[in-house]
Structure 1
Amino acid sequence: MIKIKNLSKNYVVKQGIIKAIDGLNLEIEAGEIFGMIGPSGAGKSTLIRMLNLLEQPSSGSININGTDLTELSSSNLRAARQKIGMIFQHFNLLTSRTVLKNVEFPLEIAGVKKNKRRKKAKKLLALVGLADRLDHYPAQLSGGQKQRVGIARALANEPDVLLSDEATSSLDPESTKATLELLAKIRDEMNLTIILITHEMEVIKEVCDRVGVLESGKIIESGSILDIFANPQKDLTKKFISSVIDFELPQRIIKYLHQKRPGKLIRISFLGEKTHAPYISDLVKHYSVDANILYGNIDEIQAVPFGTLILDLEGKLTKIEASIDYLRSQDLRVEVLEDV
């Protein structure tokens, strides 16, 4: 488990002090893939570099599997870092070394004998699907292949934690998907904890178990992927979700909102098996309201259906209110759009 308490990072500039990370608290369970998303300048890269103390915190603690990294001596910190692998946006491969020797490099630094490190590097390259590229150089590889070498190298010292700093940002969509599938496979096979920093909600949606939304050095919202997508609270979270799921209201619905009309306009969010339940027919049958469907969308979040409906409810106000109460009693997220 990773426990981060009151973590801060301040930079002193001519204008004063910049708080890159501001009193951040976070717990990450062992074996989960935790995504951290935020806009440029939110502090994502600073945070991930502090998790292995490449960046020294101004205050606070970072506890990984019972060890507070901020209290370790230099020699003990070097040993602890060997259990924290890291993959980078721009790969950071050694251009003068072959694929095999790139993966061997951290083992060489750790003093592992040549035969043993070669055997291990070959095994890791087979794991990431590059067994046929051992003698190639980085310049001979695609972006996706370079990132696979970076992942294999990060696994060389059998880490407990893998840090991913925008690892898919330089990749095309196909390579991104393959890399995320590989990370999920590695997590399952090696029981790793993975912390994935990104500015792309599609990445979070595809592979993460939980997510934290970072803004101005603080986590403003966090939770399971399904909970965050089904019930986002902050405007920034909604903005990120809208980049992959049509969460924003269509313009024609916004225009409809400003018209004088009876009834209420509501948005219902469905999750899982609830997408198949006959809620609308229940409203018509039991509450004597007309439910006109103005907009609908169904997507999937990690194989779980997620749907949105916008309904125009017409009828007696008391009946409409009762029907909304009924929907909410079914654990559905219901927004009255006039109030949004």
Structure 2
Amino acid sequence: MKKYKLICIIIFLLILLSIVLATFIGSADIKFAQVIDIYKFKLHFLNTDLDDMGLYSIIWNIRLPRAIVAVLVGGGLALTGCIMQALTGNVMAEPYTLGIQSGAGMFAAFSIAFFSQIPILGILGTNILAFIGAMVSMIFVYIISSRDRAKSNSNLILIGISISMLCNAIIQLIIAFAPDNAKIRSIVFWTMGGLGGAHWEDISLLFIVSIIGFIITYALAEELNIISMGEETAIILGVQLHKLNKILLVCVSVMVGAIVSISGSIGFVGLITPHIVRKIVGSDHKKLIPVATLTGALFLVWTDIVSRVIVAPKELPIGVITSLIGVPFFLFIIKKRSRGVK
């Protein structure tokens, strides 16, 4: 228990340090002392004066909210990965591989392209439509995979990939009929994922959704542990599987919808972090959930930093980097499973 708490404290402190580092690492040449001066100015510390307001805008209005959004997105994706892997009993399950993110992106793309032509889309907003898309995709995957107990084996991933391919095809169709280039560029952003458009206004939504999702999931950690032992065992021990599935599936849909509406589709975070953390702290979800959430947050902060500096002054979509890391990892897991290694 002490080791687990120490790991959480260390990762949390690394996240705080990473947020500060993320505000001065980038294509613009900014010194660490200048960043500290801006923090002093904003916090009214020692009545510090600031002459360069352009520098202030880069640090406080662009880089800092972007780093915080990266923390919330990374933590949220890792948390949803833990939930999906527990519910399906499949370590390869996560919102990206199950097509949930693609469904959210498809509805978001439809909203971006046609909200001006269809009044109700403007009323609902991109965030709500992304949530609806995540929910619809999840329902399709869950219903299809529930037949013949497919959700207990690799067929679940094949179903998810099929749903993802269908959603991506529809997104391409939406792009073809999009009314102008600005909307096309915005839709392409959703498909690749990125945090370049992060603002302070996005943080409140992500924070509320992430905190509520974490509290609900952590409160049900014991039930998730029981489910991991098998559905029959869970039923014998009194777990209401149908009710639990509904609660957690809605929780995942809300979180994924909120995340995708702000960051676009960022894959494999929910696959990589829970799998690695499980090797360190074990399969107890009371330990796995908080450590995986913090690890996902730390991972995405540094992935975002890499995306900003690797081809500076241009920016590489963060979803490209996570896919370059995640696809080999995904294949590695498949290879291990084919050999019967857990």
TM-score (norm. length: structure 1): 0.20
Name which one, 1 or 2, has greater alpha-carbon Rg.
Answer: 1
Higher strand share: 1
Higher helix share: 2
Q: Which has the higher contact order (CA 8 A, sep 6+)?
A: 2
